[in-house]
Structure 1
């Protein structure tokens, strides 16, 4: 069956590749025949490339600072909106802030309402891009500044490393942005004598949704609302596009930005999907209000522009003002509904009723986008692994975990009768519940490919060392369990010593679960070991203990000591 399907699939891929090649050839022919379009397309490509390099450089230079800053801000909705707006204004990428917020929610670092407020602020902050392009990008010869930035960035990117390499990447990204804007200005100026868009007056009601749709499509195709706004602003400044249609296209660009969140949520968990849903709902609601009030908002923009002294024909600046006003209006309308929106999304996207035993809960692919969320996801998943290991170690000493974890174990717990058939073998349960989760943790750590600070690297190293010690302890527990099951009968000569040993290990596990590191964990088993070494010598002399049983007990005490030693943190005093 599979062999028969392969040729068809190969033929389909070949036909698709042929169509793609044909499309590229047609596009190349069009661009060669139209230098104006070629210049415009080159400018757009340079702009998008610059945005990508700028995001990478900012993530590299922040070293987790941006992540921690945004995480702290989400404790209060008003603060989250302000910080989201400021962060987006600084990095000029609402997509970066959106993916950060999704990473936080997926890793369990922030609650959904705080992340929603952060997204509201990111939407407001992204409007600063329109202001920068309208006020600076369309007035100055940016190519004059782009060339030295490109030269420094290219040389530094391939010759420098560390923070200096990050600064070089930042310069290169800004240089490409400047050059892209200048190329698009040149392309529209050349185009001005050819095709004109003056007929797009948009004087009918049904025209506005078409312009909004054009903004959505442009943003989805280019994966950047900044690029859509840049095209719109450049066309508006060159007289290629009337004012009111440009406002409608800006509304569509706002909706198109939700595609990034939706695409990011497809491979992420439930929490990220909830946040993507909030992003879509907010942008759709804001766009609907802005479209319904398009003419009144245009009047308001004219009034504010006159109040602050803008020229009547300063259309690009008015578009930037409109972009800010309708996003601000959306925040004002949606802010009182954040809690209800979060409740609705949690109901709409519920958590799975039960996770599979080997399924990781926090190792969401969205957490890999940023250092803090990746490390936090690792820490939380390793804690889950620890809890499973604690329960399995309780089985190794034939004690219910409820008698060990949560309160100090009591003597009566080890003196109850033992039914060997009721206890799962450590080795079988390890392969069922521990090893698969451990494999997911190690695979996730191998996929972390973002710059880490020295502190974050140390945290990951400690997590890995602790996890490996836990697995080593389980191996000792497996050997210990076999002996305890062999001598579990009430009248066994080793039962008394084994009860002391089990109680000592249980006490150590309890202290470990309560975060009492160091010598306090090993103290109970050390005391039991010293006592029974003396007691064995006494019983061997009086012939009350068989030498072979004494050998077994010595080995069991040694395995118990190794188990506890593996669990103790070697860095503790």
Structure 2
């Protein structure tokens, strides 16, 4: 036994013992095994459903959500609608975090989107209460599962996405039926009637139970399914079920908080907003639990709901307190955004080579991943422009802000003022390029043809930008060797530097400019004739002439690498009407 403990760490041993004990319990209590099976099938179905929706949306969901944040009411409405359609507030939350992190939407709009997502998630309780608990869903689950399993094996593209959708819905239906069957089986052995909430300290404990259940299962829908099934079978009293539902609402913030740990400042702010909103909403709902329960009874009476329709009443309560939370917090969205920006500021001294936008949350969906790559590629390009200015020995402020003056180019050059391009490349470009390539390799979501084209174009553009810097490295060494004012090549090099600087200036002002090589071509043609004249008149030896030709060639290769050809221009992002 001691040898086994040495071979396996204590944690692994405890995990193994836990699995064995759980297996023994489930084998001894088939009713509990049925409950656990139903819960597992439901969670598995939610996973398949999310993946299928990502595949089928092809970026449409992303664009809808991003465009919806133009106004607060529109953002709330779109957050509600999208969550009702995909039945996953976690997916919408992660998309919103990646939008903010990639700079696609502002924080107030993303907060409003999350408010709507909270309201949209209440539709799941309505669907389960109205249909899932009243119908035998396994009758519908079997054909859906058969279609989904076969289709996912045999079909490709969007049809495979439809098969995944069928598989996810089938698993959800089957999970709900197993949960109902499990609670019916344990009716005699399990009763929670003692949790009547008669004592004040019961309510916080019930809320904490809802939080813990949602955290463990990573799904408020799963927690609500358990509550509704227990409520319908008489295992759980009505008022405690309301308190647990409040806790489930708080538990949904855990997904955002976990994602926020790997996100930038913008993503952490949104995770904080989600937590603050859900905590305030839960505190208000808990403080007003009895008045809200009375209001639910009155509304149920008004719309003709049966007095004992407890699952439907819980769904109504769930919608009511989330709507109340939105009404309370709506006027404070701008203040909340400013508060979070003060509490979670952007890092002031981020290392220049460190990526700012390549958060793990951006990998959630295709458009958000591409947006993050575009933002980071622009940072790489700006840094490459600065390094290329150093390669031609001209201050970047004299090139990128305005066309370079001849006086600046013809000024004396001190070699010690210009760091080696190779050093700059390893300090400022190579680490950032490595992060870009790593992020590129980690994109594992379905892409449309346009998205794939944009991704390949961004990849090619970044690689070619670094390729231009490597040409600049060779060019800089030659320019420094002949930097003296009296050098026979200084005049030609000044013309070369001026032409490259003009090309960089054009490109910095217009990333799609195609005429950046024109100034250098004029210099090349002039000096080809001038070299012939000077060689004939013995004013220049052949060794220096060949050096100049090589420098002109390196400068041409540098600019050619920067020219945005049709193959390395990212296609425009598609827009919706």
TM-score calculated relative to the size of structure 2:
0.96
1:556 and 2:551 correspond? yes
Structure-2 residue corresponding to 1:157: 152
Structure-2 residue corresponding to 1:40: 35
Structure-2 residue corresponding to 1:220: 215
TM superposition shift of 1:528: 0.6
Structure-2 residue corresponding to 1:4: none
The Cα RMSD (Å) is: 1.7
Cα–Cα, structure 1 residues 8 and 483, in superposed 2: closer, same or farther, change >3 Å? farther
TM superposition shift of 1:195: 2.1
Contact 1:511 1:517 in 2 (8 A): no
Structure-2 residue corresponding to 1:343: 338
Contact 2:42 2:222 in 1 (8 A): yes
Cα–Cα, structure 1 residues 458 and 329, in superposed 2: closer, same or farther, change >3 Å? same
Match 1:488 to one of 464, 483, 487:
483
Deviations 1:95-152 (A, max 9, x none): 1111111111122211111111111100000000000001000111111111111111
Mapped to 2, the partners of 1:23 and 1:491 lie a distance apart of 82
Contact 1:153 1:168 in 2 (8 A): yes
Mapped to 2, the partners of 1:199 and 1:516 lie a distance apart of 70
Structure-1 residue corresponding to 2:284: 289
Structure-1 residue corresponding to 2:177: 182
Structure-2 residue corresponding to 1:116: 111
TM superposition shift of 1:9: 14
Structure-2 residue corresponding to 1:241: 236
Contact 1:290 1:297 in 2 (8 A): yes
Deviations 1:504-557 (A, max 9, x none): 110011111112645521110000111111111122222222222222212111
Structure-2 residue corresponding to 1:136: 131
Mapped to 2, the partners of 1:8 and 1:539 lie a distance apart of 86
Mapped to 2, the partners of 1:134 and 1:457 lie a distance apart of 42
Mapped to 2, the partners of 1:84 and 1:9 lie a distance apart of 53
1:478 and 2:481 correspond? no
Contact 2:506 2:513 in 1 (8 A): no
Contact 2:44 2:171 in 1 (8 A): yes
1:276 and 2:271 correspond? yes
Deviations 1:157-211 (A, max 9, x none): 1121211111111111101110111111111112112222222211222221111
Deviations 1:462-509 (A, max 9, x none): 112222221221122111111111111112121111111110110011
**48-57 or 408-417, which moves further after superposition?**
408-417
1:107 and 2:109 correspond? no
1:449 and 2:436 correspond? no
Structure-1 residue corresponding to 2:414: 419
Match 1:253 to one of 239, 243, 248:
248
TM superposition shift of 1:15: 2.1
Matched residue of 1:441: which SS?
Answer: helix
Mapped to 2, the partners of 1:555 and 1:33 lie a distance apart of 83
TM superposition shift of 1:13: 5.1
Contact 2:5 2:13 in 1 (8 A): no
Structure-1 residue corresponding to 2:327: 332
Mapped to 2, the partners of 1:89 and 1:324 lie a distance apart of 12
Structure-1 residue corresponding to 2:508: 513
1:377 and 2:372 correspond? yes
Q: Which runs of 5+ in 1 are unaligned?
A: 1-6
Match 2:26 to one of 22, 26, 31:
31
Structure-1 residue corresponding to 2:575: none
Match 1:536 to one of 531, 534, 546:
531
Q: How many residues are matched?
A: 567
Structure-1 residue corresponding to 2:432: 437
Mapped to 2, the partners of 1:247 and 1:504 lie a distance apart of 73
TM superposition shift of 1:434: 1.1
Mapped to 1, the partners of 2:98 and 2:77 lie a distance apart of 19
Deviations 1:432-477 (A, max 9, x none): 2111111111111001111111111111111122222212211221
1:368 and 2:354 correspond? no
Moved over 3 A (4+): 7-13, 516-519
Contact 1:357 1:433 in 2 (8 A): yes
Matched residue of 1:354: which SS?
Answer: coil
Q: Which runs of 5+ in 2 are unaligned?
A: 570-577
Matched residue of 1:109: which SS?
Answer: coil
Mapped to 2, the partners of 1:185 and 1:157 lie a distance apart of 28
Mapped to 2, the partners of 1:134 and 1:320 lie a distance apart of 7
